Structure 1
Amino acid sequence: MLVSRGEDGGKIRRHLKHISPNRLERLRYLAGIAVKLTDDPCLAIDTGQLVSLASYGILGYSFMQSRSLEELYIQVKKNMWVLDPTEKNALKLSQPEGRYVISYENPPHWPEVPYFYIDLFFSALLHQSRELSRKNLDGAVLYLKRPAEHIPPTYSKKLGIEVIGNSETDLLILQKETVRETFPDTHLFHSPSFYSHCDVLLGGMKKESTLVEKVRHSLLGHSGRADLETIATEFGMSSRTMRRHLTTLGTSFRHIQKELLVHISKEYLANTPLSIADIAELIGYHDAPTYSRAFKQITGHTPAEFKKQKPAKE
C-alpha cells in the first residue's frame, strides 16, 4: 500500500533494518507513514478487521483451541508479551455484575499517531472474537480515554458496537453470558480461519498423499492428541481399514501423529521462551525425555539442539 502511494519501498526497507528490532517500534514507523499518506482516522480500525487468528502463527493456533471467548481472552492476557513486550501485565480482566471487562492500562503511546495502537488492538480483538465465536457480540461497548470529539462518527459502525469517549481507561465491556458460553463441539472444524491456519502450520511439511494430508488436518483439530479410532470415524471408516490404507502408503497413524506433533513443537521451540518440559506437556507428551526421543527420531536432533540453533521456519 505504501509503495503504491508513491513511498519509496527501498527506503522503507532500509530504514526498517536500522531501527529497533522491537516489533512495536517497527509497527510505529509503518503506522506513521501510512497515516500520513492516507490521512485516514479509521486506518487502524480497518487494519484490525483484517487481522485473523491465523496471522498470529503458532499463537493463533493456540487461540483457536479456546472453547469460549473467556478462554480466548485469558490466552490473550497470558501472551500479551508477544503483542506488547513493554507491558507484561497491561491487560486486565474482571467480571463485575454480569459484565466481562477487558481493560488495557498504559498502552504504547506514539505522539505522531496517538490512537493507532489502541484502535488496532481492540479492532483486531473484536474481529477475532467474532471469527471464533461466530456471534455479533450484542451489547458490547468500547470505552476510550480520548475526548469524545476525537472519535470519528464512523467508529461505532466499523466496529459494530457502541463507542464512548472520555473514559478513565481504555476498556471493552461485554455480556458475561456471551463470553462464558461454551462453543459447540464442531465450531473449530467449521471455522475458515482454522483451515487456513492448518495450511500455514502444515506448509513446511513434506507433501504426502491426500489421505495423509487429511489425517494431519483432522489431527490438528484435536491438538494432535486424538487416537486412530476417533480419526477413522471422522472419515467414515473403521480403524482397521484406515490402518490398512496407511500401511499401503508406507506410513502409519502413529508416525503421522508423531511427525505432526514434532512439527508443531518446532514453532514453540523457535518462537517462544517455553521450556522443553512445558512444550512436551503442551503437545501431549507425559514427560520431556519421551518427547525428546520422538523429536530426535523425526529430525535427527534433540529439542535442545534445535532450540539452540534458532533456525528459521522450515
Structure 2
Amino acid sequence: MISNHLSLDEAQISKTYVNILLEHMRNRAMADTDIFLSQLNVDKDSLIDDEGLMPMSKFVMILEEAAKYIGDENLGLHYYQHVDFRRLGIFGYVLLNSTTIGEALYFSSRYYCLFQQGMEYNLVVEDDIATLTYNITTKNCPKSRQDAEMTLMGAVTLIRFLYDGLWQPSAVHFSHEAPDDTSEHTKLLGSSVHFNKSFNCLFFEKKLLNAPVHNIDIQLKKSLTITMEQLLSINQEQLEEDWFHPFQEKIINSLENGVPKIDDIADKMYVSKRTLQRKLSNEGLSFLSVIESIRYKLASNYLSASEVLPQDIAIFLGYSDVSSFSRAFKRWTNMTPLEFRKKHRITPK
C-alpha cells in the first residue's frame, strides 16, 4: 500500500458547488443524497462547511455520478436552472450588482479562480465577437462533460437573468463528444451547438457587453470588489511562494515519456538538483515517493471520475503496458483498476 496519498497538491473547488448539486438532486429529483454519497464512499459531514474547498476531481466524480443516479444525462445543463446566484456568496453578489453584462462577465472570469483552481475561464473580444472560454487545465482531474456544460450554461443563465430571459449565444462549442441526443442542447442553447472542439466556448455579439444591468447596488458592488481584489492578491502571493505545485505539474507533464529524472525536473524548475533535493527533504519527501504518490492519485482520480480506459491511463502515467500499471495499482490499493472503478462508480438507473 502506498504510504502518502496526500502529497499530490490537487486543484480545489468550493464546496458550495457540490452542495448546490445535492440541493438540486433533492428538490428536483427527490433523491436521497445520503444514500447517493454513501454509495460513492463520500463522507457527507465533510461537505457541511459550505465555505471550504474540496478536490476538483472529487467534485467531477460526484457530478458525473449524480447524472446517472437521478437519470438526467443533461444534469450539467440543468444545474443552474433554479439557482439564485446569491447562493454563490460574495461572488454571486458581485455578479448581480455589475453595471453591465460585460462587467459581470469580466468579474466572473477574473474572480472564478478564487473558487475553482486548475482551469482557465477567459473573456476575449475580437472585432465584433466576444468569446467566453472555459477549460480544465490541470491533469490532476479528468475533463468532464457535465462540468463543461454546467459552467457554460451557468454563464448563459446569468446573462438571461441580468439581461433577457430569451437570450441565446451565437454559437456554443464543447470539447467532449456529442451525446446521442442533443435536443436539450438545442432547446437551451440554440441551434448552433458543436462538439469535439478544441475548447468549451460561448460566442456572442460584442455589443451585448454594453447592455446595462438595472436595479443594482453600486455601493455594495464597490465594497465587494475591494474584498475580492484583496482575496485575489492574497491568492496570487500564495501562488508565487508555492514551489511544490509547479514541481508536481512538471512531473505530471513528463510522465507520458516515462518516469522523469530528478535532474531533468530540476532543470525545468531552474534550480540545482541539490536545491530540489533539499526542498523535498525539508518536507519529509523523496523524489521517487512523490512520483509514486502522483501516479496513485492520478490513477484513482481518472478511475473514479471518468470512463478513461485503464490502458490509456497506463500510457498517461508512463507505464510500458497496462499490466505494469495494474500490478502497481494493486500494490497501492489491493484492488485491480477495474475493481477500484466499480467500487467508486454507480450503475446507471
What TM-score, normalized by structure 2, do the two folds share?
Answer: 0.48
**Structure 1: 5+ residue stretches without partners:** 190-220, 227-260, 276-314
| Mapped pair 1:223 → 2:219 | yes
- 1:188 is aligned, of 215, 225, 239, to 215
Structure 2 residue 93 is matched with structure 1 residue 65: no
Q: Decide whether the 8 Å contact of 1:139 with 1:161 is kept in 2.
A: no
CA contact (8 A) 1:52 1:128 kept: no
The answer for the alignment partner of 2:71 in structure 1 is 39
Superposed displacement of residue 147, structure 1 = 2.9
Q: Retained in 2: the 8 A contact 1:48–1:127?
A: yes
Distance change in 2, residues 1:4/1:108 (3 Å): farther
Measured in 1, the distance between the counterparts of 2:153 and 2:104 equals 15
Contact 1:142–1:161 (Cα < 8 Å) also in 2: no
Q: Which residue of 2 aligns with 1:194?
A: none
1:52-76 residue CA offsets vs partner (Å, 9 max, x unmatched): 3212111111112212111111101
Identity %: 14
Alignment of 1:247-258 (within 5 A): none
1:1-314 matches, cutoff 5 A: 1=25, 4-6=30-32, 8-9=34-35, 11=38, 15-17=43-45, 21-22=53-54, 24-87=56-119, 90-106=120-136, 114-134=144-164, 136-149=166-179, 152-160=182-190, 162-183=192-213, 187-188=214-215, 221-224=217-220, 268=227, 272=231
Deviation at 1:116, TM superposition (A): 1.0
C-alpha spacing 1:58/1:152, structure 2 compared with 1 (3 Å): same
1:262-291 superposed Cα distances (whole Å, 9 cap, x missing partner): xx79x949x94667xxxxxxxxxxxxxxxx
Q: Tell me if structure 2 keeps the 8 A contact 1:51–1:124.
A: no
Determine which structure has greater relative contact order: mean sequence separation of CA pairs < 8 Å that are 6+ residues apart, divided by chain length: 2
CA RMSD of aligned residues (A): 3.7
**1:92 Cα deviation (Å)?**
2.4
Q: 1:114 to 1:108 in 2, by over 3 A?
A: farther
**1:66-116 CA distance string (max 9 Å, x none):** 1211111110111121342123xx1222222311111123357865x8301
Structure 1 CA distance, aligned partners of 2:117 and 2:66?
Answer: 23
Q: Report the CA distance shift for 1:224/1:15 in structure 2 as closer, same or farther (over 3 A).
A: closer
Q: Which amino acid aligns with 1:74?
A: Y
What is the CA–CA distance in structure 2 between the aligned matches of 1:144 and 1:68, rounded to whole Å?
A: 26
Aligned residues: 200
Report the secondary structure of 1:142's partner residue: strand
Query: What stretches of structure 2 of length at least 5 have no aligned partner?
Result: 1-24, 235-349
Query: Using the alignment, how far apart are the partners of 1:108 and 1:152 within structure 2?
Result: 28
Counterpart in the other structure of 2:284:
none
Question: Take 2:221 and 2:204, find their aligned partners in 1: how far apart are those partners?
Answer: 33
**1:124 aligns to what SS in structure 2?**
helix
Shift of 1:39: 3.0
* Letter of the structure 2 residue corresponding to residue 179 of structure 1: L
Tell me, in whole angstroms, the C-alpha distance in 1 between the residues paired with 2:165 and 2:206. 14
The change in CA–CA distance for 1:144 and 1:33 in structure 2 (over 3 A counts) is closer
* Cα distance in 2, alignment partners of residues 273 and 95 from structure 1: 23
